[in-house]
Amino acid sequence: MEKIIKYYKDILGIDLNDSQHPISNKINSIKSSTETDKKIKEHHLRILGLSLMGIKEYDEGIYDYYIKRIVNNTDISIHGHIFEINQCAHFIRVSKEKELNFKFGKPNINEPDFIVNKFGFEITSSRFANYSAGANPGIKLLRKFREKNGKEYANTDCALIIDINQISYHTIKNGQPVSPTFEEVRETIRNESKFGLVLFFVEWIEKKDENFFFKGTVYSNYNENCKPDLKEMIQQKFVTKQEKIKGKLYLSSN
């Protein structure tokens, strides 16, 4: 934990006395957290730190871009930036290992977040700023999809990756039926999507005995016109094989 505090406070310069900053809040809440929540929070902080270090080693310009978006950012958008940072580090790492051409997108000319070989990848997050029992996860997800589906880069050469972890967490925690359901939303997206494919990402934590395993599930919606090379790239290089759940499962809101 001391290394985590040193990294965020001394290296990144995040004010740990700022109770409004989500990262500061997470670090300061660890002492009063349950053992399970403590492990989850430490994992998230460690992964973000490793992602930033990997990006910095690859390209300091990309690193500086992301640092500006998380150090002084105290609103909900920081969670979308964190998800994008982790995905960026993942795409850079896999591209290096598989000898693919990774390029950071230029938003000023309407490029998606990343371009690998000739294919685009847009990263986004669907979440509630202030969740209440009356919030509708299905409608929230559809709005986020439609926002991205209207962009110039939305075509069959591009994939959209949506973090649905927080809305999934609240849906399960609330325990009430939702309408539209996730499958109904996916069907609507299949009918409307201009993207080659849409991927929905959920992180889950499995506790087996006293050990915690941090894993993820990706739900895939392929456009019937999805380019074969893009489909193969996703299936063979970027989406790992899903494992069966053997222990107690947890979802986290962040």
pLDDT band, residue 37 (cuts 50/70/90): confident
Hey, how many other C-beta atoms are within 10 angstroms of the C-beta on 32? 8
Can you tell me the distance from the alpha carbon of 1 to that of 146, in angstroms, rounded to the nearest whole number?
40
pLDDT at 242 over 70: no
Asked if 192 and 153 touch (Cβ cutoff 8 Å), the reply is no
Tell me what the pLDDT averaged over the chain comes to: 90
17 residue type, one letter: N
pLDDT at 244 over 70: no
The 3-state DSSP composition of the chain as helix, strand, coil percent (nearest 5) reads 50, 20, 35
Can you tell me the distance from the alpha carbon of 72 to that of 17, in angstroms, rounded to the nearest whole number?
13
pLDDT at 134 over 90: no
Q: Which two tokens stand for residue 173?
A: 């925690």
- 206 forms beta bridges with 213, 249
Q: Which two tokens stand for residue 180?
A: 């539209």
pLDDT in tens, 140-177: 999 999 999 999 999 999 999 999 999 988 888 887 77
pLDDT, residue 241, reads 59
pLDDT at 129 over 90: no
Can you tell me the distance from the alpha carbon of 9 to that of 3, in angstroms, rounded to the nearest whole number?
10
| Every domain of the chain and the residues it spans | 1-88, 105-254
* Residue percentage of the chain with pLDDT more than 90: 66
pTM score over 0.85: yes
Which residues does 77 contact at the CB level (< 8 Å), separation at least 6? 69
